[in-house]
């Protein structure tokens, strides 16, 4: 697998397709009848179901060759196209997976889809001035602006990829509503897009 260009506004290549292949593999291999059927893996930067630990969960019947292939494809893409220097993990042990409603999961519902959106945010919020930033509505507990569901991005972010990630997250959560108030305007703070601070 090479780097995949996903419709951004520049010629830069990214690894969105490789990230999605890993998430799809994880989601396709979650069926279980007991918590003993579940396994923990660490597959790459920004893909996690257990907060900053980087842990993800599948059943024990997963195809080991296929997992290695999609994980190696993602790692190779990161090294080639996103110039990452590796990723840091927090120093806490992930809770073990449990079998809930026939699926191997961690402590948070829709954690894989949520982490994909936050990872996208972290890679798409660089700015120099306030005009470099825009807000996008995500919601369903993903918000930098309280109940509005607003998250702040660089104006040059890949809107097509964000729409796909948002749709995957909303499909998992079942949808949500936002509060009835205006979204706080975007601002560039210390080189990252966020909500405008109170003055």
CA distance 194 to 117: 15
Question: Do 62 and 39 touch, CB atoms closer than 8 A?
Answer: yes
Q: Which domain holds residue 161?
A: 113-195
Do residues 99 and 127 both lie within one domain? no
* In contact, 73 and 17? CB cutoff 8 Å: no
Domain identity same for 102 and 148: no
84, 44 contact by CB (below 8 A): no
Q: How confident is the model at residue 7 (pLDDT cuts 50, 70, 90)?
A: very low
Asked whether residue 43 falls in the same domain as residue 97, the answer is: yes
- 138 and 95 in a single domain? The answer is no
Q: Which of 58, 84, 108 is the last residue of a domain?
A: 108
How many structural domains are present in the chain? 2
Q: Is the Cα torsion angle 110, 117, 166, 153 positive or negative in sign?
A: positive
Shared-domain flag, residues 134 and 175: yes
Residue 78 · residue 1 · CB < 8 Å:
no
Q: Is residue 10 part of a domain?
A: no
- Predicted pLDDT of residue 176: 83
Are 15 and 3 spatial neighbours (Cβ–Cβ below 8 Å)? yes
Percent of the chain with pLDDT over 70: 90
Predicted confidence at residue 99, as pLDDT, reads 96
Q: Does residue 122 share a domain with residue 100? A: no
Q: What is the pTM of this model?
A: 0.85
- Using the 3D structure, point to which of 81, 108, 135 is the last residue of a domain: 108
Q: What is the mean pLDDT of residues 33-51?
A: 93
Above 80 in pLDDT, residue 157? yes
User: What is the overall mean pLDDT for the chain?
Assistant: 89
Is the pLDDT score of 4 beyond 70? no
Domain boundary among 108, 133, 160: 108
Asked whether residue 81 falls in the same domain as residue 123, the answer is no
Which residue's entry shows tokens 């894989």?
112
């Amino acid at each position: 697998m090479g780097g995949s260009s996903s419709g951004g506004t520049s010629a830069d290549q990214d690894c969105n397709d490789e990230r999605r292949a890993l998430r799809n593999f994880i989601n396709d291999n979650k069926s279980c009848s007991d918590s003993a059927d579940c396994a923990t893996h660490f597959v790459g930067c920004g893909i996690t179901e257990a907060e900053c630990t980087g842990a993800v969960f599948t059943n024990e019947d997963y195809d080991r060759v296929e997992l290695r292939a999609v994980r190696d494809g993602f790692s190779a893409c990161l090294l080639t196209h996103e110039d990452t220097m590796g990723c840091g993990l927090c120093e806490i042990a992930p809770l073990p997976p449990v079998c809930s409603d026939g699926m191997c999961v961690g402590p948070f519902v829709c954690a894989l889809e949520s982490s994909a959106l936050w990872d996208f945010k972290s890679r798409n919020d660089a700015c120099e001035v306030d005009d470099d930033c825009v807000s996008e509505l995500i919601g369903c507990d993903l918000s930098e602006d309280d109940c509005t569901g607003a998250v702040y991005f660089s104006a040059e972010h890949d809107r097509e990829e964000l729409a796909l990630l948002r749709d995957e997250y909303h499909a998992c959560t079942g949808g949500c509503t936002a509060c009835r108030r205006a979204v706080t305007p975007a601002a560039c703070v210390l080189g990252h897009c966020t909500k405008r601070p109170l003055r």
